[in-house]
Structure 1
Amino acid sequence: MARFNNKAAKAQPTSRVTSTGRVLRTHQGGLGRERDARSELFLLAVSHLASQRTFYETGADRDDRFVTLVRELAVHDPSWTAALLGWLRGDGNLRSASVMGAAEYVKARLDAGTTDGPANRQVVASVLRRPDEPGELLAYWTSRYGRNVPKPVKRGTADAVRRLYNGKSLLKYDTASKGYRFGDILNLVHAAPDPDKPWQGELFQYALDRRHNPDTALPPASNRVLVAHRELMAVPVAERRAVVTAPDGAGRLAAAGLTWEALAGWLQGPMDKAAWEAVIPSMGTMALVRNLRNFDEAGVGDDVAARVAARISDPAEVARSRQFPFRYLAAYQHAPSLRWSYPLEQALGHSLANVPALPGRTLVLVDRSGSMFFSRLSDRSELNRADAAAVFGTALALRAADADLVQFGTSSDRVRYRGGESVLKVLDRFGDLGGTNTSEAVRAHYRGHDRVLIVTDEQAAYSHHGDPTEQVPAHVPVYTWNLAGHRAGHGPTGKDNRHTFGGLSDTAFRMVSLLESGRDGVWPWLG
């Protein structure tokens, strides 16, 4: 009789987030599992906004844990850590964590005197993707380690400056509110102009003049954006609204690189219908999404609104903007006008492009406990991790061939939906369910499903039945999507059909299909 070579034999793939086998306690007192250092750092990094507290950890405690892990792995596993930081700022689209991480990576390696692995300079340059980020990194470094900035940090920053600085970026980001102005950064890192950008030398000089001699600084005649901006600034205040309403008003604002924030200051008055309609053509997709309510309040015309709706729901624009899916939920809640509902639903769908259409029967459990509600996604957002969990859980259920969607906390219940229904409408059926009895929720709703997906912060309460993953037969995959990055997980991970992903975007979901096709899940930057 064949013991191994039969039709039931399947590959048992592994995934990268891995348990050590050591048992810990969750913040809720449940039995938890320790993860190895790389796994803990990855889950923390993809859910980490600098100084942002959660229900269980202060912002300072999370920052300290993040820094400790980065510094440890920068010395002992530099190639992996450098790859994480570059991916975190790129596909991961997280700015603060990657900037902090790069600074601590360099500091740890300099302190340890190690030179193996990726160059410190390259790691610094890899996380600086937006023109204000060289100043962010230098401000972080000097606030922690003083004004003695080491050469790798200076050189990596200089590489980024040459890549990022141009006329429009100077107008948008070189403002008096910044501690490090463009001129300060150029003085500190001694960035030479890019040989392939002959105009950059004059731009650098103008940035220095703006910083040190603002009253006499003149933009280079070769830079049309800066010249147009200076001409616009010279228009008397009393005549500025006439500029906006002129037939070429939108073109002049765009040519001068005037953002909507700068336009509000330039007008020295309210942003009315004419002002919004003039600046909307040159606004980015993210700015459009964040200002939908302002457009309504100003009475922006239906023809202009239709063009805004087309842009924010265009798949290419959504991909280019790299917004997290829950941003569209925030816009929907903030601007509930019917003319934005369908475009935002479309945009949300495009932003969830990686959510798989799972075959068979799937159980999706969404954590709606108090800790998820308390933990806001950022200091500037009213959304919380419970909202994000509901977005992703609902999208999974709607894409799956046959799914049961469940919300859980102290108690649990099914969330009803119809195939093809709007994600945003289904979200209205979620509530606040108190504690975190994850094991009981799984036991109550698992009925021979082909897989279980749990979207949670993993801080489960104690259950005499064991951890949540033990409530499912060993041959059935259980996927945990961690949204908070706490140290202890609610169950084992990495093998034996138990896998944990992390983050606030949908990219982790592509791992489900890989694992079920018998291939090992890899770190996202290797996939």
Structure 2
Amino acid sequence: MARFNARGATARPASPVTTTGRALTTHQGGRGHERDTRSELFLLAVANFVSQRTFHESGAERDDRFARLVRELAVTDPSWTAGLLGWLRGEGNLRTASIVGAAEYVKARLDAGVTDGPANRQVVASVLQRPDEPGELLAYWTATYGRALPKPVKRGVADAVRRLYHGKSLLKYDTASKGYRFGDILNLVHAAPDPDKPWQGELFQYALDRRHNPDTAVPPASSGVLVAHRELMELPVEERRAVVTAPDGARRLAAAGVTWEMLAGWLQGPMDRAAWEAVIPSMGTMALIRNLRNFDEAGVCDEVAAEVAARISDPVEVARSRQFPFRYLAAHQHAPSLRWSYALERALGHSLANVPALPGRTLVLVDRSGSMFYDRLSDRSRLTRADAAAVFGAAVALRAADADLVEFGSTSNRVKFRRSESVLKVLGRFGNLGGTDTITAVRRHYKKHDRVLIVTDEQYAYSHHGDPTEQVPAHVPVYTWNLAGYRAGHGPSGKAGRHTFGGLSDAAFRMVPLLEAARDADWPWAA
């Protein structure tokens, strides 16, 4: 009798975030599931803004857990850990976590005396992608482990310095507010100029002179931007407004590397309409989004505003910026002017490009419990994990062929929407629903759907019914999108139709169609 090779046999795909089978307790007292070490680190890393406390963990507790997991895996699984750190800084766009992770990776491997796997130097260089980041890594290392720098740290930072240092980066990031100036870093790591950049030797010397002899430092003639910048700085204050209002003012400011942050100080006066209109052409997309309200208050003209709106909603610009979708929600809340609303709606839609159009019937459950509202996405943001959950849940429901969108906490409610609506429109219908009763929400709203997707921090309260995923028939896939990275999961994961992914971008949704096509979904950097 055929037991396995039957006509109706189907594959049971696996996903990388897996549970061990060992029981834990959630922070709310529910029955939790332990994840393996790689899965715990991945979910914590993609949800972790370093030193940011959450409802159930202090910032120090989360940071210690992150460092401990990195150090363990740096020794036992170095290739996977190096891949995670490089992906975090690249596609994951998480700067601080990747920098801290790289430092801990090197320290653990040096302490253990291991040399297999990716080189420490390469891991350090891989996470340094912006010119201020070599200083960030050195500041973390010296604050944590003292001023003695191991060779792999020096060499990795030196590799990044050769790649990242140029005239504009020096003007933007080599400021007196930094603990480590460019000159300090060059002294510490002894970076040699890149042979393919003949101008870099003079630039390095100028960075050293700026640090140690600022009154006599002269920019090299080989750097047009530094020379142009010095010429502007030497203009009398009373003549500087004329540069801003001149027909070629925008060109001159851009050629001199003058950013919007520098401009007010250089003018020694307010950022009025003329000042903003002169610097807007050289501003990056996210700088534009951060300043929409300032543009309105200064009275930027409609023609320039239209150009700004076109840039921030351009799909190519949105993809290049690699910003999390909730950044556009924050901008919409901070700058509610109607002339930005449609552009921000479009930008948010473009930022959710990875959300799949799921066939069949989908139940989307969005956690709106108190802990989700307590947890801000960062110290500098007013947005919460509840906001992020609503963004992603609404996006899935709007894109799906047939979806039921539900918010849950102590109670649960259907959230009505029309497929023609924007995500921002739907967000206004979500509320704050108190405690976390995921199980009751699943039991109440599951009606023979083809799949269930739960966006949550997984910290549900105790229930005699088991875990939330057990409320759905075993043959129906349940996807949990974890937004907080706590240790205990609310259900099993990794196989048998139960899968967990995480993070604050839409990239995780790529797993869903892979798993439903009966193909195993691997870690994102291995795809």
TM-score of the aligned structures, taking structure 1 as reference length: 0.99
Cα displacement (A) at 1:210: 0.2
Name the counterpart of 1:110.
Answer: 110
Are 2:464 and 1:461 equivalent residues in the alignment? Answer: no
Q: Give the 5 Å matches for 1:230-379.
A: 230-379=230-379
The residue matched to 2:303 in structure 1 has which SS?
Answer: helix
Are 2:104 and 1:125 equivalent residues in the alignment? Answer: no
**d(CA) in 1 for partners of 2:238 and 2:467?**
69
Are 2:435 and 1:435 equivalent residues in the alignment? Answer: yes
Name the counterpart of 1:202.
Answer: 202
**d(CA) in 2 for partners of 1:222 and 1:52?**
43
Name the counterpart of 2:511.
Answer: 511
**d(CA) in 2 for partners of 1:2 and 1:299?**
77
Cα RMSD for the two superposed structures: 0.9
Deviation per residue, 1:462-504 (Å, 9 max, x gap): 1111100000000000000000100000000000000000100
Name the counterpart of 1:419.
Answer: 419
The residue matched to 1:429 in structure 2 has which SS?
Answer: coil
Deviation per residue, 1:424-450 (Å, 9 max, x gap): 010000111111100011001000000
Instruction: Give the number of equivalent residue pairs.
Output: 527
Name the counterpart of 1:89.
Answer: 89
1:419 corresponds to which letter in structure 2?
Answer: R
Q: Where does the alignment leave 5 or more consecutive residues of structure 2 unmatched?
A: none
Are 2:138 and 1:138 equivalent residues in the alignment? Answer: yes
2:62 corresponds to which letter in structure 1?
Answer: R
Name the counterpart of 2:394.
Answer: 394
The residue matched to 1:501 in structure 2 has which SS?
Answer: strand
Are 2:220 and 1:220 equivalent residues in the alignment? Answer: yes
Name the counterpart of 1:481.
Answer: 481
**d(CA) in 1 for partners of 2:20 and 2:211?**
53
Are 2:181 and 1:181 equivalent residues in the alignment? Answer: yes
Name the counterpart of 2:28.
Answer: 28
**d(CA) in 1 for partners of 2:332 and 2:31?**
38
The residue matched to 2:453 in structure 1 has which SS?
Answer: strand
1:52 corresponds to which letter in structure 2?
Answer: Q
2:369 corresponds to which letter in structure 1?
Answer: S
Q: Give the 5 Å matches for 1:37-56.
A: 37-56=37-56
**d(CA) in 2 for partners of 1:522 and 1:300?**
48
**d(CA) in 2 for partners of 1:355 and 1:2?**
40
2:449 corresponds to which letter in structure 1?
Answer: H
Name the counterpart of 1:62.
Answer: 62
Bigger mean CA deviation after superposition, 3-12 or 50-59: 3-12
Cα displacement (A) at 1:238: 1.5
Q: Where does the alignment leave 5 or more consecutive residues of structure 1 unmatched?
A: none
Deviation per residue, 1:374-408 (Å, 9 max, x gap): 11011110001000000000000000000000000
Cα displacement (A) at 1:183: 0.1
The residue matched to 2:489 in structure 1 has which SS?
Answer: coil
Name the counterpart of 1:18.
Answer: 18
**d(CA) in 2 for partners of 1:470 and 1:41?**
25
Cα displacement (A) at 1:237: 1.2
1:311 corresponds to which letter in structure 2?
Answer: R
Cα displacement (A) at 1:9: 2.7
2:149 corresponds to which letter in structure 1?
Answer: V
**d(CA) in 1 for partners of 2:352 and 2:345?**
11
Cα displacement (A) at 1:267: 1.2
**d(CA) in 2 for partners of 1:510 and 1:486?**
22
**d(CA) in 2 for partners of 1:7 and 1:309?**
55
**d(CA) in 2 for partners of 1:105 and 1:419?**
46
2:514 corresponds to which letter in structure 1?
Answer: L
Cα displacement (A) at 1:243: 1.0
**d(CA) in 1 for partners of 2:425 and 2:8?**
41
**d(CA) in 1 for partners of 2:179 and 2:129?**
19
**d(CA) in 1 for partners of 2:7 and 2:253?**
67
Deviation per residue, 1:119-176 (Å, 9 max, x gap): 0000000000000000000000000000001000000000000000000000000000
1:121 corresponds to which letter in structure 2?
Answer: R
Cα displacement (A) at 1:422: 1.0
The residue matched to 1:33 in structure 2 has which SS?
Answer: strand
1:72 corresponds to which letter in structure 2?
Answer: E
Deviation per residue, 1:51-98 (Å, 9 max, x gap): 001001000000000000000000001111011001110111000000
The residue matched to 1:46 in structure 2 has which SS?
Answer: helix
The residue matched to 2:52 in structure 1 has which SS?
Answer: coil
Deviation per residue, 1:152-208 (Å, 9 max, x gap): 000000000000000000000000000000000000000000000000000000000
Cα displacement (A) at 1:294: 0.7
**d(CA) in 1 for partners of 2:269 and 2:365?**
49
Cα displacement (A) at 1:7: 5.5
**d(CA) in 2 for partners of 1:257 and 1:10?**
59
The residue matched to 2:108 in structure 1 has which SS?
Answer: helix
**d(CA) in 1 for partners of 2:75 and 2:5?**
45
% identical aligned pairs: 83
Cα displacement (A) at 1:507: 0.5
**d(CA) in 2 for partners of 1:410 and 1:13?**
33
1:440 corresponds to which letter in structure 2?
Answer: T
**d(CA) in 2 for partners of 1:7 and 1:473?**
22
Name the counterpart of 1:149.
Answer: 149
2:76 corresponds to which letter in structure 1?
Answer: H
**d(CA) in 1 for partners of 2:268 and 2:476?**
63
2:494 corresponds to which letter in structure 1?
Answer: G
**d(CA) in 2 for partners of 1:101 and 1:214?**
35
Name the counterpart of 1:501.
Answer: 501
1:232 corresponds to which letter in structure 2?
Answer: L
1:113 corresponds to which letter in structure 2?
Answer: G
**d(CA) in 2 for partners of 1:281 and 1:343?**
17
Cα displacement (A) at 1:315: 0.7
TM-score of the aligned structures, taking structure 2 as reference length: 0.99
**d(CA) in 1 for partners of 2:273 and 2:374?**
37
2:511 corresponds to which letter in structure 1?
Answer: M
